[in-house]
Amino acid sequence: MKEHLQSRRAFFKQSSLGALGLTILPWSLKGVAPSDTLRVAHIGVGGMGNSHIKWFANLPEVKIVALCDVDQTHLSSSISNLAKIQPDLKVDTYEDFRHILDRQDIDAITCATPDHWHATIGTLAFQAGKDVYGEKPLSYDVREGQKMLAAQQKYNRIFQLGTQIHAGDNYHRVAEIIQSGVLGDIHTVRLWKTGGSPELKMTKGQPVPSTLNWDMWQGPAPEREYFPERCHFTYRYFLDYSGGTFADFWCHIADVVYMSLRPKGLRSISARGEKAKGLSNTPGWIDIDYEFDDLNIHWTTEPPNVPGAKDRSIGAYFEGEKGTLICDYGTREITINGETVRDLPEVPISIPRSPGHQQNFVDAVKSRLQPESNLQYAREMTLPMHLGLISWRLGETLKWNPKTEKFIGNKKANSLLGRKARKAWKLI
């Protein structure tokens, strides 16, 4: 308890809450007792944040009590959107998410901020006794993911990654077919997502809009001059905040691989590609080869030269000893002995279906049992994405030690596993 209080004092010393006169209440580290109502606050209420609001507002067991965003225009539009669903609901609004974490009457948060804030907010929420529904990617870098997992386990919190496609029947059915062994041992998986980071035209710095707290938007990322392309949706095309289209979509399609095979023993990462044209510095295209103990995974920006891939903008192609399976978010085709079918009725249903991704989170909060896209699973799935970007940035094939989670014999690569946060925003 003494250690917790000391870390908490340090946290508020770095924040502006004391100066604002906020009453500091003791954070609850107890689990949420099952009840009729789960009190939820939404942090980051732009495009995806409004989807969070819609999803949770339509769950009868949930009461939305607060919204938070560093852009006042987002808050205003989100209040209007929420009022369309629940006209009589009154919510508190904040610019600084730390106000929400200090409230004892909030059980859980959702986080749909830009990527570079995900792990900081999630980790602090765990420390504050909150459960978290957080958007992908899980973290900005490897070290953040390690800290996040350690905090989640220490404080015994519930976490669900916002990979909504995970809850669909198609991914569950693919996993059943792969795990049944009907295709034999899977030795290769090919993943792809067409379209790299777009060309952003060069612009000059502009005055920060009066409605935006640009310093807090940047948070732990390096301090930069403001221009609109760096903010909101197109932030993902800057390495300061994310990893482009690759980082945006990796989790959505790698998810079906991890559901089906749970790859272990990553040994080698070899990426190639080019920077996007214009202002962006994330990949315009990127191809990556991953070597695991018993599996090779290949990521490409264009569809691979395999049957059924060219007409899919995103997909996974499993190659087994006895056959193949190709899928995207909602469809699949299995080929065995030259015959292609959409399903194999002889493979029984063996994996429980999701009640819905957000409902799965609510149920987990009440039962205190981790949901499907839990943090340990999400971190395993996210890790190769981070390592692929490092290989691309250095232009080198990298050897990885999965036990120590460090690159072998490459100090420069290891230095990219984490970064120092800006002094004012070093919160975890």
| Omega within 30 of 0 (cis) for the link into 222 | no
My answer on whether 145 and 42 are in the same domain is yes
139 and 204, same domain (yes or no): no
Give me the sign of the Cα torsion angle 353, 359, 365, 371: positive
**pLDDT class for 35, splitting at 50, 70, 90?**
low
- Res 26 pLDDT > 60: no
201 and 152 within one domain: no
pLDDT over 70 percentage in the chain: 92
**Bridge partners, residue 397, by sequence:** 270
Measured at the alpha carbon of residue 138, what is the angle toward residues 42 and 424, in degrees to the nearest 5? 70
- Pair 138, 227 in one domain: no
* Cα(428)–Cα(421) distance, integer angstroms: 9
**25 belongs to a structural domain:** yes
Say yes or no: 129 and 213 in one domain: no
Instruction: List the structure tokens of 426.
Output: 């070093």
Q: What is the CATH number of the domain that holds 382?
A: 3.30.360.10
pLDDT in tens, 318-333: 999 999 999 999 999 9
CB 122 within 8 A of CB 134: yes
Tokens encoding 127: 């420390």
Say if 344 falls within a structural domain: yes
Specify whether 74 is located in the same domain as 194: no
Radius of gyration of the chain (CA): 22
Residue 32: predicted pLDDT: 47
- Asked whether residue 13 is domain-assigned, the answer is yes
DSSP annotation string for 391-414: HHHHTSEEEEETTTTEESS-HHHH
Instruction: Sort strands 296-300 and 186-193 into parallel, antiparallel or unpaired.
Output: parallel
Tokens 């607060």 correspond to 66
Based on the domain organization, do 173 and 134 belong to the same domain?
Answer: no
d(CA 52, CA 425): 26
pLDDT for residue 16 is more than 60:
no
CB 328 within 8 A of CB 334: no
Instruction: Answer whether residue 243 is part of any domain.
Output: yes
Tell me which residue range forms the domain holding 298: 169-351+375-409
CATH number at residue 115: 3.40.50.720
Asked if residue 360 belongs to a domain, the reply is: no
Measured CA to CA, the distance from residue 44 to residue 412 in angstroms comes to: 33
Domain boundary pick from 144, 165, 186:
165
Above 90 in pLDDT, residue 316?
Answer: yes
Structural domains counted in the chain: 2
Do both 152 and 176 map to the same domain?
A: no
Phi, psi of 188 (to 5 degrees): -145, 140
pLDDT tens across 213-223, in order? 999 999 999 99
Compare 203 and 83 and report the one with higher pLDDT.
83
Percentage with pLDDT > 90 across the chain: 89
Residues 153 and 262 in one domain: no
275 and 383 assigned to the same domain: yes
- DSSP states along 168-210: SHHHHHHHHHHHHTTT-SEEEEEEEE---PPPBPP----PPPT
**Residue 113 pLDDT greater than 60, yes or no:** yes
Residue 392 sits in the same domain as residue 275: yes
Return the DSSP state at 229.
Answer: G
- The confidence score (pLDDT) of residue 420 equals 97
CB 128 within 8 A of CB 151: no
Residue with structure tokens 């819905």? 356
> 264 lies in a domain?
yes
Same domain, yes or no: 156 and 284: no
List the beta bridge partners of residue 38.
62
In a domain, 415, yes or no: no
Per DSSP bridges, beta strands 108-111 and 131-134 are: parallel
Span 263-274, average pLDDT:
98
Please tell me what DSSP assigns to residue 319.
E
Instruction: In whole angstroms, give the CA distance from residue 250 to residue 222.
Output: 24
The reply to whether 269 falls in a domain is yes
Work out the average pLDDT over 50-77.
97
